[in-house]
A and B are shown apart, each in its own frame.
Chain A
Amino acid sequence: MSTARGPQPSGSRLEGRRAAAGWLFITPVLVILGVFLLVPVLMAAWVSVSDWTGRGSPLSGSTSFVGADNYRALVLGGGLPTQDFGMSLRNNAWYVFLVVPVQTALSLLLAVLVNRRLLRARGFFRTAFYFPSVTSSVAITVVFLFLFSASGAVNRLVGNLGANGPNWFSDARGVGHLLLGGVGVDRAPSALADHGFVGISWWDWLAGPSVAMTVFIVMAVFTTSGTFMLLFLAALQSISDEIDEAAMMDGASPWQRFSRVTLPMLRPTLFTVTTLGLIGTWQVFDQIYTGSQGGPAKTTLTPAYLSYSASFLSGQWGRGAAIAFILFAIIIVLTALQRFVLRDRGTPRRRRLVPSSSSVVPAGAAPGPATEPGGAP
């Protein structure tokens, strides 16, 4: 570019000046990111390998390096810290495992529904579905506390149907154990009871979310589906009608048009939604802080809440920071894994939908996802 604009020296000076201007413009953001993100992260990393007691600066002389002691106490110690951490991982793993698929599917369904031109009062439904997302999670937690209290609206409803609802927020029984109990397995086989992972026996890992945690799962699906619906809706509206019409002309059924044409084109959004869902669900904190403080019987304890309580309530700052970093690692690994699963597999396999020689998917439509920036690994 510079060659086209006269002599070399002046061009490079111009570029230098441009670069300086560029740096000038990004400096505020760099400073803000550095001060508010990079420095705290580095400090927390230091705290997680130190014996900082919470008084004065962690960088002062009285704080010393303890290596991986905090991490070891959490993962290999076998004592109460390990059990608590294992418990929080178990609770949160089930939470993620159930919330992410359900909220993704539900938000996609809602988006498809409110995207239909035939639907009357689309604006109303879009607003209604999005409403839980703009409400404060603390307020929603309080509402759920009332709805799911022992004699709350939900149990009244269940009672009218002739069943006895559980005492939701104080029921520590695991749903997995309840299901296993239903098929007659109510005692742990010794193979599962005697071995475990992070201080929790395999039998307890199988317990599934407790009844109390199930309420938080329902709540998470309820509150976040609206946000993700909006993302899917935006993506759906960017798919032009001609593509759908072309598929229709090729004789694809409505389901085929959705699963073979629309869904592949939504893959970048799908990646965004699952990634955001994964990160959000692993960091669940405010609902727990407001709603249950980890109870009953620690079955709603999550790593994020444990990190807070270990540091602020128990004064174990190093351990709290270590939990935060292990959580960070878990999120990174799972996001990478999910990226791998949702990666673009080169040219999409073309399957014939109708027995004819012409390819069903129009040539212009098929590479669509491949050219989207978000889809490329």
Chain B
Amino acid sequence: MRTTRTALTALLAGGALALTACGGSGFSDDDATTDPGTTTDEGGELTVLIGSSGDAETDAVNAAVAAWAEESGSDATVTVASDLPQQLSQGFAAGSPPDVFYVGTDNLAAYAANGSLLAYGDQLSNVDDFYPALVDNFTSGGKLYCAPKDFSTLALVINTDAWTAAGLTDAEIPTDWAGLADVAARLTTGEQVGLTFGPEYQRVGVFMAQAGGGLVSDDGATAVADSPENAEALTFVQQMLRDGALAFPSAIDSGWGGEAFGTGRAAMTIEGNWIVGALRNDFPDVKYQVVELPAGPAGQGTLQFTNCWGIATDSANQAAALDLVEFLTSTDQQAGFADAFGVMPSVQSAAEDFRSSYPEMTAFLDSADFAVGMPTAQGANDVIGDFNGQIEGLADADVAAMLASVQTNLQAVLDSQG
């Protein structure tokens, strides 16, 4: 009975919007309300929904969940979502979400606001081990909603062959903006641009951080996009674009910075630690070096990206789900994930091991000290999407007008949070 009803409601959630053939009943008030602070423990099989980057990640998560199932004696299945936000939304609407799932910083506020996400931070035994910046990323309204799964930072990736071909030495690895613009210009040849990164805040934001700017004030209540610091950063990027030392990947036939870097169309790129695995798989012959991003007028800065392990409020197995999350975020498991698909552990206790196993990735881990996260307010993602659209045209854009529009839109979003 319950399955029929939830299946019908799931159908309905999909069909309601598309106005296409999907539908059902679900007229009853079937809110599975759970008192905050308590966890359900009805037993039964756990379902885990992940948005996988590829087979390596899928296999690693499968193996880890199987190991937990073995150890705890409970059953758990891992499903790979083809479109994670959509599948999660359907689950929430139907009242039958997966028990454990990936949550991105951009979706956290929406899921927290409608009560879909269990704020289990206070029951997490290893909570003090996580990097504080990551914990902040998943804290909304003073409550830690979910345990950071792993994280990534952005650093400068240099093609060492191109570097020596241009007559550059280690002493010239850029430490400030002038140095970066200089080496980018010297690395630019007919077939190759000096630097590339995607036309989005998720890359350009590092320069804003280095200039001392950002999008949202520290308390998260005010938009600070329209600042002279941000204008300085965008003007710097704009100048490199106009000089031809920087090109966006699409302008050099590439889908993303890593591809442009691997094919040799760009000598440097600003990417996260996922590029290590991508280069190993797709361009194993490219020799490269990863260094911390150069400092700007206000010092060093970079962006960090992270996901967390969400647990559904509507889950019937919250106790087991919490146990699984603690298992998956334990030091050993995170080291295993780092081995399997190149992510950085979200717990500090795994850092030393990571440094010694992956000396080439230390620049990424060291960058965590000065990394800032993405804005998490509900709707901030739309504003950043709009900003990204404008960044695509940065070469000819009016920087002040661009930042003014981001300011207006972002403040409207923050105000509507109440």
Interface residues of A (CB under 8 A from B): 35-37, 39-41, 43-44, 47, 53-62, 79-80, 83-84, 149-151, 167, 169-170, 172, 295-298, 307-308, 311-317, 320-321, 324, 328
Contacts and interface: CB of A to CB of B under 8 A. Distances in A.
Nearest to A298: B389
A308 B16 CA distance: 11
Nearest to A81: B382
Given A53-B113, A298-B386, A312-B86, A44 B393 contact: no
A43 B386 contact: no
A43 B110 contact: no
B336 interface: no
A296 B89 contact: no
Contacts of A297: 389-390, 392-393
Contact of A320 (B17, B23, B27, B28): B17
A324 B18 CA distance: 7
A80 B225 CA distance: 15
Contacts, number: 152
A71 B248 CA distance: 37
B381 to A, nearest CB: 7
Contacts of A321: 16-17
13 contacts: A40-B20, A43-B15, A43-B23, A53-B113, A53-B115, A54-B110, A56-B29, A79-B409, A80-B413, A83-B386, A307-B17, A317-B17, A321-B17
A324 B19 contact: yes
Interface string B1-42: 000000001001001111111111111111110000000000
Contacts of A312: 17, 83, 85-86, 89
Contacts of B92: 54-56
Size category of the binding interface on chain B:
35 or more
Given A60-B30, A320-B17, A43 B12 contact: yes
Nearest to A323: B17
A54 B390 CA distance: 30
Contact of B17 (A53, A83, A324): A324
A37 B20 CA distance: 7
Contacts of B314: 55
A128 B191 CA distance: 40
Nearest to A321: B17
B379 A314 contact: yes
Contacts of B114: 53-55, 315
A55 B117 CA distance: 10
Given A40-B22, A149-B253, 12 more contacts: A36-B22, A39-B25, A40-B15, A40-B19, A43-B12, A47-B17, A55-B93, A59-B29, A79-B408, A80-B413, A298-B389, A315-B107
B340 interface: no
Given A54-B93, A150-B250, A169-B250, A40 B12 contact: yes
Contacts of A60: 29-31
Given A84-B386, A172-B393, A295-B389, A56 B93 contact: yes
Given A36-B22, A297-B392, A57 B251 contact: no
